[in-house]
Structure 1
């Protein structure tokens, strides 16, 4: 069974950051699986691009491309949800 990192599972106490956190978590969950896996492994598990490449048995360039795609999609989702001007990326 696939398990989300604890930062994506737990419900925090009510705070001023909660709406932003919910937006971010929702955006992560909506990423394509390949991008989401790479993003979570890199940002939450602290794995290097080489380690992710070995773990997923894909080329490091594919890892970089998936991470870049995840970051662009997350940035857009957060910008749209927050009513900000889209980031220039």
Structure 2
């Protein structure tokens, strides 16, 4: 028997959920998330690049993470939702 197909299927499903959630993020949040997580830019460099304070980058990145977390929770039937 080969490896468990359900594991790879579940990973693909989760990846698609995350991609859809990222695409639905408002641009003001998505850009910060992508620069930090995928371009691996430090917060300070993002702030410098965009001409804003690091605190703004932190705030928007945190908001992006909250929105993504909620979107993933909703897609999974609200399994880990809090106080909604």
Tell me the TM-score normalized by structure 2. 0.82
CA drift at 1:87: 4.6
TM-score of the superposition, structure 1-length normalised? 0.78
The structure number with the bigger radius of gyration is 2
CA–CA distance in 1 between the matches of 2:62 and 2:71? 14
Aligned length: 74
> Could you tell me whether the CA contact under 8 Å between 1:79 and 1:87 is conserved in 2?
no
Q: Could you list the runs of 5+ residues in structure 1 that have no partner in the other structure?
A: 1-14
User: Of residues 39, 44, 64 in structure 2, which corresponds to 1:45?
Assistant: 39
Q: Which consecutive residues of structure 2, in runs of 5 or more, have no partner in the other structure?
A: 1-7
